[in-house]
C-alpha cells in the first residue's frame, strides 16, 4: 500500500508532464479508495473558498479521502489564506493535491507553496527543459524510475526521438523493459533502436508506394533522407516490395485466390491482408513498369547514364509518377 502525504502541489510550465502526474495520482487514488473516495475541483468549482470548505467538512466516507484541485495558478495570495488553516488541520486520512499549469506571469502563489510544505506535503516543479539540457534531464528522470542510462545514450535518444519529454521517458522505459532489470542503457542499445525505427519507416515508404499514395511516400522518403538513409538503400527496399507485389499480382491474375496467396506471404496476418488489398488495387503491368523505372533510377544513382538532376529530385519524380 503506497504511503500518501497530506498534500501535494505540482506546478510548472510542462503541462503535459503535469497532466501525466495528475492522471497517475487519480489512478492510484481510485485503486486505494474507489471513485467515491475522490473529490474533483475544476473550472469555476476550483475556488479557494470551495476547497477550504471541503477540507473542513466532515465526511462519512470509509478509507482515505482524496481531493484533486486544478487551476490553482489562478489563485491570488488572498485566496490562499482561506485554505491555510484547513491545510494545517488536515485529518490523517485526507490527501489534497493541487495542480498549477503555469505560463508567463501566471504562477502559483508563493503562499500556497509555503502552506503545502508547512503541512508536511510535497511540492514538485515540472518545468520545460532547454534543448541542450535534455540529455542530462533524461538521465535524471530515468534514474528516478530505476533506469540507468549512459549520458551518450541519453544524447542519442534525444536526437532520435526529439524534444518531447514524455516520449523520451516512454522510450527509455521501453528499452529498459526489452533489456531486462539491472541493465544499463548504452549507446549501442539506442543505435539498435534507431536502426529498427528506420527499417520500419522504409517498409512504410514501400507500402505507401505500392498503395499508390504518392504524398505519403514522398513524405516518408524525405524523412528517411533527413536521418541519413542512402538513396540506393531506399531504392532497393522499394524495388524489393514492388517485386513481391508483382509476383502476387501475377498469381492473382493466374487465378489463385487471395486467401491462398495470403497464406504464403511471410508477413503477420494483418500486414498480409493490407498488402493484398494494395496489390488488388493495381495490376501486374503497372508494377512491372514501376520496377523498370526504378531500375533506371538506380543506374543513375550509381553514376550511370545521363543525370541532369539530383538523385533526390529523380527519386521523388519517380515516386510521383509511379503513384499517379
Q: Residues with Cβ < 8 Å from 9, sequence gap 6 or more?
A: 72, 97, 98, 100, 108, 112, 113, 116, 121, 122, 123, 124
Cα separation values, 266 from 14, 249, 269, 270, 272, Å = 44, 16, 9, 11, 8
Reading the block at residue 181, the C-alpha cell is 532489470
pLDDT of residue 174: 77
pLDDT of residue 194: 52
Tell me the pLDDT of the chain (324 aa) as tens digits: 568 899 999 999 888 788 888 988 898 888 888 888 899 998 888 899 999 998 888 666 678 899 999 999 999 888 888 888 888 888 888 999 999 999 888 899 999 999 999 989 999 988 888 888 888 988 988 888 788 889 998 888 887 777 777 778 777 887 777 777 777 888 887 766 654 555 556 667 777 777 778 788 888 888 777 766 677 777 777 788 888 888 999 999 999 998 888 888 876 677 778 788 888 888 888 888 888 887 777 666 555 554 455 677 777 877 877 776
Half-sphere exposure of 31 (CA within 13 A, CB side): 8
Rounded to whole angstroms, the Cα distance separating 7 from 66 reads: 10
Q: Let me know: does 134 contact 168? Beta carbons within 8 Å.
A: yes
Q: Let me know: does 150 contact 36? Beta carbons within 8 Å.
A: no
Residue 129: DSSP 8-state: P
Q: How many CB atoms lie within 10 A of CB 256?
A: 13
Mind listing the domains of the chain with CATH numbers?
Answer: 7-125 (3.40.50.300), 131-185 (1.10.8.60), 195-323 (1.20.272.10)
Q: How many CB atoms lie within 10 A of CB 168?
A: 23
Amino acid at each position: 500500500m503506497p504511503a500518501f502525504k497530506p498534500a501535494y502541489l505540482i506546478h510548472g510550465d510542462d503541462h503535459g508532464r503535469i497532466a501525466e502526474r495528475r492522471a497517475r495520482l487519480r489512478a492510484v487514488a481510485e485503486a486505494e479508495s474507489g471513485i467515491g473516495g475522490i473529490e474533483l475541483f475544476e473550472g469555476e468549482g476550483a475556488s479557494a473558498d470551495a476547497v477550504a470548505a471541503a477540507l473542513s467538512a466532515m465526511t462519512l466516507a470509509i478509507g482515505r479521502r482524496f481531493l484533486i484541485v486544478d487551476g490553482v495558478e489562478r489563485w491570488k495570495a488572498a485566496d490562499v489564506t482561506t485554505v491555510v488553516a484547513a491545510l494545517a488541520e488536515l485529518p490523517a486520512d485526507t490527501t489534497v493535491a493541487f495542480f498549477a499549469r503555469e505560463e508567463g506571469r501566471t504562477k502559483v502563489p508563493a503562499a500556497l507553496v509555503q502552506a503545502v510544505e508547512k503541512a508536511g506535503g510535497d511540492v514538485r516543479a515540472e518545468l520545460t527543459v532547454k534543448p541542450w539540457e535534455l540529455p542530462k534531464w533524461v538521465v535524471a528522470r530515468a534514474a528516478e524510475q530505476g533506469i540507468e542510462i549512459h549520458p551518450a545514450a541519453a544524447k542519442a535518444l534525444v536526437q532520435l526521438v526529439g524534444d518531447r519529454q514524455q516520449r523520451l521517458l516512454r522510450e527509455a522505459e521501453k528499452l529498459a523493459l526489452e533489456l531486462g532489470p539491472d541493465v544499463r542503457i548504452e549507446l549501442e542499445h539506442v543505435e539498435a533502436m534507431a536502426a529498427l525505427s528506420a527499417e520500419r519507416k522504409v517498409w512504410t515508404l514501400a507500402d505507401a508506394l505500392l498503395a499508390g499514395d504518392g504524398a505519403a511516400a514522398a513524405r516518408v522518403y524525405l524523412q528517411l533522407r533527413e536521418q541519413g538513409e542512402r538513396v540506393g538503400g531506399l531504392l532497393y527496399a522499394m524495388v524489393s516490395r514492388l517485386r513481391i507485389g508483382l509476383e502476387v499480382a501475377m498469381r492473382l491474375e493466374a487465378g489463385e485466390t487471395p486467401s491462398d496467396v495470403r497464406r504464403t506471404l511471410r508477413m503477420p496476418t494483418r500486414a498480409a491482408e493490407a498488402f493484398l488489398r494494395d496489390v488488388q488495387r493495381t495490376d501486374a503491368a503497372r508494377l512491372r513498369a514501376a520496377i523498370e523505372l526504378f531500375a533506371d533510377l538506380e543506374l543513375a544513382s550509381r553514376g550511370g547514364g545521363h543525370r541532369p538532376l539530383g538523385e533526390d529530385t529523380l527519386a521523388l519524380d519517380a515516386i510521383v509518377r509511379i503513384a499517379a
